[in-house]
Structure formats: structure tokens, C-alpha cells
Structure 1
Amino acid sequence: MDLTSIHPKVTPIYQTSVFKFSSLAELEDYYTTPGRKGLYGYSRSEHPNSDELVAEVARLEGAAGGVATGAGLAGLLAAVLATCQAGDHVLCPAELYGGSVVLLSQELSRLGIETTYVPLAQLYDLAQHRKPNTKLVLAEVLSNPLLTVLDGPRLAQACREQGIKLLIDSSFTSPMLTRPLDWGADMVWHSATKYLAGHSDVTAGVVVANDPALNKRLRQVATNLGLMLAPLDSWLAVRGLKTLRLRMRQHSENALAVARFLAKHPAVAEVFYPGLETHPGHDLAEAQLLNGLYGGMLSLRLANDTVAAADDFVQRTKLFPLAPSLAGVASSCSYPTATSHRGLSEEQRQDLGITPGVLRLSVGIEEPAELLADLGQALD
């Protein structure tokens, strides 16, 4: 069958583990000319669907390349191992996603990579907290779950002055709200499971960078450890990216409406959303985030700050089902104490402000009036 005359509008799913070569010369060309267009060998190393996903995310982020991995945390693993080895040190804000903390402190520590956590407000003074072996700083644009706003340009400048690589987790924001490479960050990491794919039907990670040597090393790590994203999942993530701009606008508009509603409700003691003028990071978010959007994630603290009250809300809501992830087109609710931050001690959660009555809402793209009505009946 001659396939040369077929020109699909959408890239096909290359559901193959291996590609064929026509000669030993072509095989040699494949190994000696990495990245040559049209030459693929083994899907553990690369395939057209993964390349398409990385190219599109890189375009949106203003990057030169990167790698797509089988999960968000696999992307973090690739980024850390591309820049650090045994005996090196990573510096992070204390307000960090619990899954990242577990990977760094429980798994990578066994490989001899040390991690220190510093309150974000103090992290900008890198000279005070760095060590001679500090190689990487990891930070989130908006912290999970209490939406603390990062001063990205300030941290990037501090990293440049200290000669330390900066990795930014932009999973909560996507390139529609932030482009951290423009600040001077070295790498941008996404749990593509979240907003990039956007439909709660794929698990993936993407890391992009501008430095060719760094991108080469990211690919090597992903290949050698078997982290590469599979063809079908890559295809699904690319499909999701096609509506990212539309989705992020609706997510953000709905979340702002929800945040304003919750801020006035007597059953809610506190709302964490940078789009609210009362949020301590509002001015910074307004100046730093793009397109006048603040994202679809917010958290609230119930006035009755107890497990029982949180469980009552979870059982009463119809449109915010309890789910341990975020950013799908349908709204959901998460309980950080039992999901994203269950790996932390009770004392650590208290220090971060994650009390029993804290709930994290991922606001979808449904009709906002329906969301407000559901929240009202759940809280009332």
C-alpha cells in the first residue's frame, strides 16, 4: 500500500514500539544524526506523537525543545537527574506540592541528592540558603494548595546571580498564564495531566528548556530510565492542547466567580485565589500573570475548620466530586490533608496552613450559575 499520497489533517497515532530501516547506512545515520526528521528507531527513545507534543509545548513556552514523560512526577525526575547527581543539593520553597516533596525527600534522597525547604518569602535570598553543592531551585508559579504567588523574575535573577539552575512548575497556570523562560528560568515543568491535556483522560508530564545541552540530557534521562510518554497518551495530550486557550479563559472566569461567591458565604472563613483583591499576592499576580487570567484553581477554609465539616461538604456537593487530581473540564474537589499532602506530617501541614477544613477546588468550564448553586446548597 502506498501511503505517500495520504495527508491527514490530524497526526495519526503511531502505535508501534519499533520503526524499520531500509539499510545499514540508514541505521547508522539514525544513531549518528540525533533528531534527524523522519528517522525513528524505538519508541522508548522517541516517536512522532511525543515529538509533536514537545514541539507544541515548546512553541507555547518559547523553548527550543524538551521531553514528554509518562507522568508529571516523571518529568520532575527527569529534570532533577538532568541537572543533579549524588552529592548535589536542591532548594525548594516549603509551600510545595506534596508529591514533589515525597519524590525529592524519600526517593531522590536515597540516591544522594539532598533537598532543603525554605519558606518562599525567604527563598529569594539565595545567598543565605544555598550550599556549595546547590545545583537546582524548584518552585511553583502558584503553590499547591494555598495559591501563594511566586515572584518569578525575582527568583530567576537570584538564581542567575548564584549560578544555580531554576526549574519552574507551571502546572497550575499553563503557558496561557505564564512563560517562565521569559523570566530567565532554565526549565519549565508541567504535569500535562492537568491543564495541557485538560480532559482527565491522560497521565503525562512535559519539561522544556532552551539550552541544547540541557534538552539533550533530558532526553537521555527519559530514554535511559524508560520515562518516555507513549504514543496514544501523547496524541491525547496534543488533542487537548488545541483548546487550551479557550479552556483557560473559561476556567479562570468561572474560578473568579466562585471565589467571589465563597468569599461572601458565612460558612467559609477564607478563600485562597490570587484573582481576589484581598489575596496577599493579588498585585504580584496581576502584574505577572498573562491575559488578565488567574487560573482555575482555588482553595477555601471552612469556618467550621474540622474533618467532619469537610466531609459533609464533600458528600453534599454534586458538581465538585472528590478526586485526587485537578484541571479537567469538569469541576472537582480535593482534600489536601488526605491526598496531595498526606505524605507530610501533621506538624508540617499545620505550618503550611493546611488545616482540617481546607478544601481545594478545581473549577471546570461548566455554566457558572450551576456551579454557584451547587456550592450554595453544599455549604448551606
Structure 2
Amino acid sequence: MDITNIHPKVTPIYQTSVFKFASLAELEEYYTTPDRGGRFGYSRSENPNTTELVAEVARLEGAASGGVATGSGLGGLLAAVLATCKAGDHVLCPEELYGGSVVLLSHEMTRLGIETSYVPLAELYDLERWIKPNTRLVLAEVLSNPLLTVLDGPRLASACQAHGIKLLIDSSFTTPMLSKPLSWGADMVWHSATKYLGGHSDVMAGVVVAATPSLGRRLHAVGTNIGTTLAPMEAWLTVRGLKTLRLRMRQHSENALAVAQFLAKHPAVAQVYYPGLTSHGGHELAREQLLNGWFGGMLSFRLQDDSAEAADRFIQRTRLFPFAPSLAGVASSVSYPLGTSHRGVPDERRQALGITPGLLRLSVGVEEVEELLEDLGQALVN
């Protein structure tokens, strides 16, 4: 069958581990031409689907070019750290950081000789106090997980540039629809594409893109060399998710604001953490910094009865917020940070961060908001 005249509107899934060469000259051209001359050889290095995903995320982020797609979000963090650090180097992070990132950095990277330290976000901007001669990388989240602390991205980027330190921003909660960290001066943007980029709770993926072509090539090389490259099917699913990203983020944000306003008035709720509320300490910064007037689909709240028993009652009563350890699908869900995202974080640090037994995190989906509010109301009744 002659397939040369087939022109699909959607890129097919290239479910192949290898690609064919016609001659030794063609093979040599593949290895010696910049960007492989548009050719593909081995899917661990490049595949049309993963290449398309990285290129599209780079376009959305305003990246120069290049990066890597990995088999999970944490695979992206691993690639970013290894692309910029070696044994003996130091990474600096805010204390308000996703628990999975803390476990990877503090439990695994230390075994490779890469040290990580944590300071309160409010103090992180004064880098002079915290950096060491071997500090090579600063990692921060646009909105922290799970308490939605708002990062002053341009301020942190300026401080990192002044000291010649690379800045990696985790934009998983915000996506390019709400935040473009490279425009602040960040060096890399990292997404757990399992979350909003994919958006349908059916893919595991990570993507990191860079501000400069050289760093983008380094990310790609690390992903290839350590074997974290994303598979074609997962890349295809994530690209499909990107096609509706703007529509979804608008609806996630509208629904989450309505849910936050509802919870803030409910007598069973002690505190709501959502930057779209004027009562949130970072509201003005978020309003100034986030794009499109959107504040995202993630929020957390603390019950008046700050106990695991009260949290469990809510989890068992809700019908439209199934209990799940991840987030950002089109369907809403509830998570329990103490037992999931921050399970591996030492108890004293969790307490200091305010991650208590009565804290719940909601990923607000795109359902009819009236149905979500009705369900929350019945689930919160004592």
C-alpha cells in the first residue's frame, strides 16, 4: 500500500521502538546533522510523538527550543537536576514544596552526592543568606502544593540571575495558560504532564523545556542517557490534552473560585487556601502575576474539626469528589495531603507547614458547578 499521499490532520501514534535506515550514508547523516536532520532512529532518543509534545509545550511556554518528555512528572525533575548538577553540588528549595519532590531530592539525590536544603519561601528571595559556593539550582512552584502559597516569580528569577544560579519552576498547577515562567527569566519550566497538560487522568508524563537551546539539548541528552523518555502513546495522549488546555483551565478556574467562595462561608470550614479569594495572603500577587484573570483549579481547606476522623467523614460522604492521590483531571477529586502527597515528609516539617489531619485538597473539575456545591454541602453536614 502506498502511504505517501496520506496526510492525517492528527499526528498518528508511532508505536515503534526503532526506525529504518536505507544506507550507511543515511545513518551517518542522522548522527552528524543538527537535530538529526528531521530523522528518527531509536525511540529512546526521539520519536515523532514525543518530539511533537516537547515542541508544543516549548511553543506554549515561549521556550527557545528543546527539552525532554519523561515517563512521569518526577522523571522531569530528575532530568532537570541531572542536567544542571553533579556530585558535590547544592539545590535550594522553599519549604513549601510538593512532597514527592522532597523525597526525590532528599532521599535519592543525596545518594548521588547532590545536597538539597529548604528555607521558608518568604525568605528564599534573599538568596545571599542561603546559597553556598556549590549552589547550582533553585527549584520553586508557582503555586505551592497543597497550601497554594504564591511565588513572586520575577523577584526570584532576578535574584538567581544576579548570582548566576539556574532557576527551575514547577508550573504543574498553573500551566502556560496561567503562568509563563521563562518570561520572568527562569531557565527551565517543569510540568507533571500527568496533571493539567494531559488533563484526563489517563496518562503519566513529565515535560521540561528550557530558555536556551543548549540547556534544552542537555535536558534531551539526560533523558536519553538515563532512559526516562516518554513512550509514544503517552506522548500522543498528552498532545491531545493540550488541544483543550485553554478551555479546561478557564472552566477549572471558574469552578474552583465558586467552590472556594462557598467553602469560605461554610460553618464546618475553618480556612480556605485559594489565591482567587481576596482573603488569601497572596491574592494581590496572584492577581498581578497570573494570566487571564484565572487562579487555577486547585484549592485546599481545613475543617473546623481538625482531625483525621472528620476528614474521613467528608471523604466517605462526597459523591462527586472521589478520593484519589493525584489531581487535575476533568473530573473533580479530593486528596488528603497528610497521607498522600506529603506522606514522606517528616512530621515536624508537615506540622510547621500547616499540613494537619483536617486539611483536604480539592482538584476542582469541569462539571456543572451547582452540582459540585450541592455535593460539598451535603458532605460537610455533621
Category of TM-score, reference length = shorter chain:
over 0.9
Aligned counterparts of 1:334 and 1:34: Cα–Cα separation in 2? 45
Counterparts of 1:168 and 1:345 in 2: how far apart (Å)?
24
Tell me the distance in 1 between the aligned counterparts of 2:58 and 2:146: 27
Equivalent AA in structure 2 for residue 169 of structure 1:
D
CA distance in 1, matches of 2:112, 2:34: 29
Question: Deviation of residue 36 (structure 1)?
Answer: 3.3
Q: Does 1:339 align with 2:340?
A: yes
Q: Secondary structure at the match of 2:83?
A: helix
Other structure's SS at 2:36 match: coil
Partner of residue 127, structure 1: 128
Per the alignment, in what secondary structure is the counterpart of residue 301 of structure 2? Answer: strand
Q: Which amino acid aligns with 1:91?
A: L
Q: Is the 8 A contact 2:30 2:37 kept in 1?
A: no
Instruction: Give 1:256 deviation, angstroms.
Output: 0.1
Identity among equivalent positions (%) equals 77
Who is 2:47 aligned against?
A: 47
Q: Which residue number corresponds to residue 9 of structure 2?
A: 9
Structure 1 length normalisation: TM-score? 0.99
Aligned to 1:189: 190
Give 3-state SS (helix, strand or coil) of 1:77's partner: helix
Q: Secondary structure of the residue that 2:349 maps to in structure 1?
A: helix
Structure 2: how far apart are the matches of 1:95 and 1:265? 27
| Preserved CA contact (<8 Å) 2:335 2:361 | yes
List aligned pairs for 1:275-354, cutoff 5 A.
275-354=276-355
SS at match of 1:117: strand
Aligned partners of 2:264, 2:59: CA distance in 1, in Å? 37
Deviations 1:49-101 (A, max 9, x none): 00100111000000022110000000000000000000000000000000000
Partners in 1 of 2:8 and 2:192 — Cα distance? 29
Partner Cα distance (1:3, 1:29) in 2:
24
CA RMSD of aligned residues (A): 0.6
- In structure 1, C-alpha distance between the alignment counterparts of 2:258 and 2:45, rounded to whole Å: 44
Rounded to whole Å, the distance in 1 between the matches of 2:37 and 2:195 is 29
Aligned-residue offset at 1:34: 3.8
Q: CA deviation at 1:3?
A: 1.2
1:110-189 equivalences in 2 (<5 Å):
110-189=111-190
Tell me how far apart the structure 1 counterparts of residues 341 and 27 of structure 2 sit (CA, whole Å).
45
Q: Which runs of 4+ in 1 moved over 2 A?
A: none
SS in 1 for 2:176: coil
Name structure 2 gaps, 5 residues minimum.
none
Check the 8 A contact 2:73/2:193 in 1, yes or no. Answer: yes
- In the TM superposition, 1:193-342 aligns within 5 A as 193-342=194-343
Amino acid at match of 1:6: I
| 3-state SS, counterpart of residue 175 of structure 2 | coil
What's the CA shift for 1:37? 4.5
Tell which deviates more after alignment, 1-10 or 324-333: 1-10
Moved more, 127-136 or 343-352: 343-352
Distance 2:211 2:161 in 1: 15
User: CA contact under 8 A between 2:66 and 2:220: conserved in structure 1?
Assistant: no
